């Protein structure tokens, strides 16, 4: 499995319903490609039974949800 990349444009994080957090308070491992992010997210869902979301960093600096 690809290791997280601190500067990667894809982020995987735990999904919290009704969250009201500022982006700087949200953290999660980042990956350089979407496929690696999906594999990591699948591992969390299948083995740890977590609800997660995969996001992509947009050019403007905000995170866009891709898959939850």
Quickly state the pLDDT bin for 16 (edges 50, 70, 90): confident
**pLDDT value at 24 more than 60:** no
Q: What is the mean pLDDT of residues 43-63?
A: 91
Q: How far apart are CA 64 and CA 55, in angstroms?
A: 5
Residue 23: predicted pLDDT: 53
Higher pLDDT pick, 36 / 23:
36
Mean pLDDT of the chain: 84
The three-state (H, E, C) secondary structure of 1-60, written as one string:
CCCCCCCCCEEEEECCCCCCCCHHHCCCCEECCHHHHHHHHHHHHHHHCCCEEEEEECCC
In this prediction, residue 35 carries a pLDDT of: 95
């Amino acid at each position: 499995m690809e290791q997280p990349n601190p500067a990667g444009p894809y982020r995987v994080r735990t999904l919290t319903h009704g969250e009201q957090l500022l982006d700087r308070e949200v953290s999660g491992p980042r990956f350089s490609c979407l496929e690696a992010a999906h594999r990591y997210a699948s591992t969390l869902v299948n083995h740890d039974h977590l609800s997660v979301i995969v996001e992509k960093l947009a050019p403007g600096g905000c995170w866009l949800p891709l898959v939850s």
